[in-house]
Amino acid sequence: MVAPLPSYEVVSAKGIRLKLKDGTELVDGMASWWCAIHGYNHPELNRAITDQLESMAHVMFGGITHAPAVRLAQALIDITPRSLQHVFFSDSGSVSVEVAIKMAIQFWGAQDKPHKSRLMTVLGGYHGDTFGAMGVCDPINGMHERFRAVLPNHVFLPRPETRFNEPLLKRDRDSLEQAFESHSNEIAAFVVEPIVQGAGGMWFYSREYLALLRELCTHYDVLLIADEIATGFGRTGELFACDHAGIEPDVMCLGKGLTGGYMSLAATLTTGRVAMGLSQDGGVLMHGPTFMANPLACAVARASVDLLIASDWKKAVADIGIQLDNELKGLTNPPAVNDVRTLGAVGVIETHNPVPVAELQRVFVDAGTWIRPFSNLVYVMPPYITEPRDLSSLTSAMRLGLGAL
Ligand SMILES: *Cc1c(COP(=O)(O)O)cnc(C)c1O
């Protein structure tokens, strides 16, 4: 039997600090799986949720509508690429990916093209833990190898190898073009994390790849689903990662940072074309979550979006990025390190071998930080309000941890 990893009891959280039961305070480098973009216990977010609680915590969203949902939908339509005009709310990122996939399949069915029912994606992706989403995760890194036998057989392309700011490599261009040529007739949608592959390997790839992908999707009539669950709301230096390439997807999934880390909520946005196409198919999308558009979650999400847009988030993220780059760049020395890369408020150190998580975690906690490595990746994605001094604590802890390997 494998011993379970130790866990640390948190009793409260404020700003960028987590407080443990023994009183220890940790600078949080993870933003609770990348969600708490404004930090914890934020007075404005607290107020939004408690105000909403006074009027109603929840009400069904069938045959009923309410202002928190409508206001949030409008705010999302206002800040996402222009062609995205329709919003479907669900409870978590994984479900928003299920919804996106169902939109695509149902859309083509309604256009009398039911043969367009497979998906295309790239290796190294992560889209969630439910079955539809698992089907487009990396077959090996995606944590779902165990379930391979019951997952649908989608088309996987190699991971885009061209790095973020580099011109597109020929092999990336060829693999995309060939895949569309061979498979586009049977493909409903291409599912992709734009620019940053998150939980599948913390990999940053070229904006030219994304731009070419958009072109090919349009040319071959394949819907483009951009999973911005990790990248949305400024994390990569643009409000949405699609903005790096100036592209508009047909469907966009949002989650994680949507409520500023307060509650589970996700949204799937789509274009007028897809929404109208779906409406021809019995009038509705065949999906109806019980807790759809929960008012508490919508209220806090709206407050989080307002807070972000009113702030100078672009400078905050850029400043974090510059400092991460400066302080992590020198870390290529420890023999354990294979690659160092940063983009926006994301700093990643890739090691040659998987790291001993429990031991490293201890080193980080003893250094007064919360950094959760996985596989061969030690990375930080801190709240945007992180001050330079606290960011230095995170990078020093990383240096310490990697030196100890
Ligand atoms: C986290 C994540 C998901 C899944 O979201 P959950 O809320 O955990 O279901 C899907 N796609 C990406 C890119 C993610 O980072």
Measured between alpha carbons, how far apart are the two ends of the chain, in Å?
A: 24
SS3 173: helix
Task: Please give the structure tokens belonging to residue 98.
Answer: 């299920």
- Ligand 1 pocket, 193 CB below 6 A? yes
- Ligand 1 pocket, 138 CB below 6 A? no
pLDDT of residue 332: 74
- Ligand 1 pocket, 384 CB below 6 A? no
Cα separation, 232 vs 323, whole angstroms: 21
For the segment 226-230, the average pLDDT, to the nearest whole number, is 98
pLDDT of residue 1: 62
Cα separation, 160 vs 124, whole angstroms: 9
pLDDT of residue 323: 98
For the segment 362-383, the average pLDDT, to the nearest whole number, is 97
- Give which of 386, 146, 403 is closest to 137, Cα–Cα: 146
pLDDT of residue 281: 75
Residue 145 has pLDDT above 90, yes or no: no
What pTM did the predictor assign? 0.97
pLDDT of residue 334: 78
- Ligand 1 pocket, 116 CB below 6 A? no
Q: In testing the pocket of ligand 1, which one of 30, 126, 205, 374 has its CB within 8 Å of the most ligand atoms?
A: 126
- Nearest atom in ligand 1 to the alpha carbon of residue 92 is 7
Least confident of 16-20, 50-54, 281-285: 281-285
Distance 229 CA to ligand 1 centre (A): 6
**Number of residues in the chain:** 405
Residue nearest to atom 8 of ligand 1 (CA): 93
- Give which of 195, 161, 155, 194 is closest to 178, Cα–Cα: 155
Strands 187-192 and 118-122: parallel
Residue 3 has pLDDT above 90, yes or no: no
Please answer whether residues 120 and 183 qualify as being in contact, where contact means their C-beta atoms are separated by less than 8 angstroms. yes
Scan for tokens 């074309």, then name that residue. 273
For the segment 265-276, the average pLDDT, to the nearest whole number, is 97
Distance 256 CA to ligand 1 centre (A): 7
For the segment 259-263, the average pLDDT, to the nearest whole number, is 98
Distance 86 CA to ligand 1 centre (A): 21
Name the pLDDT band for 389 (thresholds 50, 70, 90). very high
pLDDT digits (tens, 9 = 90+) for 29-84: 999 999 999 999 999 999 999 999 999 999 999 999 999 999 999 999 999 999 99
Amino acid in position 120: M
- Nearest atom in ligand 1 to the alpha carbon of residue 198 is 15
pLDDT of residue 264: 97
Mean pLDDT of the chain: 96
pLDDT of residue 295: 98
pLDDT of residue 142: 64
For the segment 128-144, the average pLDDT, to the nearest whole number, is 88
Strands 187-192 and 223-227: parallel
| Distant-in-sequence contacts of 145-149, Cβ < 8 A, 24+ apart | none
Residue nearest to atom 5 of ligand 1 (CA): 93
- Ligand 1 pocket, 227 CB below 6 A? yes
What angle (nearest 5°) sits at the alpha carbon of residue 268, between those of residues 266 and 271?
A: 155
Name the pLDDT band for 330 (thresholds 50, 70, 90). confident
For the segment 175-187, the average pLDDT, to the nearest whole number, is 98
pLDDT digits (tens, 9 = 90+) for 96-115: 999 999 999 999 999 999 99
- Ligand 1 pocket, 126 CB below 6 A? yes
Cα separation, 231 vs 256, whole angstroms: 9
- Ligand 1 pocket, 257 CB below 6 A? no
Residue 293 has pLDDT above 80, yes or no: yes
